[in-house]
Amino acid sequence: MKIGAISLAHPTLLAPLAGITNLPLRLLAKSAGCALVYTEMVSANGLVHGSVKTRQLLASVPEERPLAVQLFGGDADLLAEAARQVAAAGADIVDLNFGCAVKKILKSGSGVALMADLHNSERVLRAVRRAVAVPLTIKMRSGWEPSGSEALALGRLAQDCGVDAVALHPRTARQGFAGRADWALIARLKATLTIPVIGNGDIVSAGDAVRMLAQTGCDAVMIGRAAIGNPFIFSQVIDVLEGRAPQIPTSADRFRVMRAYAAATVAHLGETSACCMLRSQLGWFAKGLPQASQFRAAIHTIASGDEARPRIDAYEALLAQAERNT
């Protein structure tokens, strides 16, 4: 599959997840075979007004490329200027957020609020398209009402404005994350557009990913929550697509990935910031393992990034001991 001139090796993408798809997590996804990673949503307003924290979200390394940087905002000129800055900073793809349903974002006319205002959406799409030469994508929800007609209309508009691919999380704005994603709407969008359609929503296993590709005809799948602490899902999708049984990660694989995440977090953020992140994030990698809550409690008290290492070692030794005793 191609997005503009960018060829993707596999039809698997890591979804943008605010506070989660940081550089270390993206690197793990990438090394597991994910073809395209997205930053979390980045405020166009913050970028244009020189927020240092916002700019830090653009930090990248060559190993994770191609990289899509997702912008949110509601003002066409601000978004166009932010897109210019993002492209100048080296983003391979600029993505625009038409799907966030968080109140604060909606109040600013951003995210899925844009789906209720096709005129402003058109201004945004045309301004950003004029501003950058790199491929441009959008990520949207079903819209505000369940029929999905707003998503089909925005998809057509995006295509007319020169957008290179459209990702759809088929839940309405009011649904939040409740109920099930309506994969049939992904199929309808695919049948409506000629540009690539990326399906998203409720993929929790490699089997789901392959089912979404088959049921909807979408060009690629985007995985969000199921990839948190679990980059293996990307290699498992490739396994299934290539006719192999999906390889189940061993305990050693899981600890290898946990250590790689801790090391990358320290390397990219420095000891102090890494410590705060690791306290809350290392638990992602223990999901489903025995005594995970004790591990999370132990990690919560680390005072430096370096202190994470012996606690991971101790947890692995504890699990190995428990296994020997059974």
Ligand X SMILES: Cc1cc2nc3c(=O)[nH]c(=O)nc-3n(C[C@H](O)[C@H](O)[C@H](O)COP(=O)(O)O)c2cc1C
Does the annotation count 218 as an active-site position?
no
| Segment near ligand X (CB under 6 A); pick from 16-24, 83-91, 151-159, 235-243 | 16-24
Residue nearest to ligand X (CB): 224
Structure tokens at 32: 């597991």
Please provide residue 168's backbone torsions phi and psi, each rounded to the nearest 5 degrees.
Answer: -130, 125
Q: Which of 201, 229, 231, 249 binds ligand X (CB under 6 A)?
A: 201
Give the H/E segment covering residue 13: strand 12-14
Site for ligand X in 61-120 (CB under 6 A): 70, 97, 99-100
| Segment near ligand X (CB under 6 A); pick from 46-54, 147-155, 196-204, 255-263 | 196-204
- Residue ranges in the chain assigned as alpha helix (H): 23-31, 44-48, 52-56, 76-88, 103-107, 118-131, 149-160, 183-192, 206-216, 232-241, 251-269, 271-281, 292-299, 308-325
| Segment near ligand X (CB under 6 A); pick from 198-206, 211-219, 247-255, 291-299 | 198-206
Q: Which of 55, 126, 156, 225 binds ligand X (CB under 6 A)?
A: 225
Name the residue nearer to ligand X (CB basis): 101 or 319.
Answer: 101
| Segment near ligand X (CB under 6 A); pick from 24-32, 221-229, 246-254, 278-286 | 221-229
Name the residue nearer to ligand X (CB basis): 102 or 289.
Answer: 102
Which among 8, 134, 6, 129 has a CA at the least distance from the CA of 69? 134
Residue type, 258: M
Query: Nearest distance from residue 64's CB to ligand X, in Å?
Result: 17
Cis amide linkage into residue 66, ω under 30° from 0: yes
Name the residue nearer to ligand X (CB basis): 201 or 283.
Answer: 201
107 burial level (CB within 10 Å; 0-12, 13-18, 19+): exposed
x/- letters, 39..58, toward ligand X (CB under 6 A): -xx-----------------
Q: Which of 30, 139, 188, 190 binds ligand X (CB under 6 A)?
A: 139
What is the C-alpha to C-alpha distance for residues 163 and 42, in angstroms, rounded to an integer?
Answer: 19
Name the residue nearer to ligand X (CB basis): 282 or 312.
Answer: 282
Structure tokens at 91: 């983003």
In angstroms, what CA-CA distances link 22 with 14, 74, 199?
11, 24, 22
Structure tokens at 148: 């999905």
211 binds ligand X (CB under 6 A): no
Task: Give me the active site residues, please.
Answer: 100
Q: Give contact residues for ligand X (rule: CB under 6 A).
A: 15-18, 20, 40-41, 70, 97, 99-100, 139, 169, 200-203, 223-226
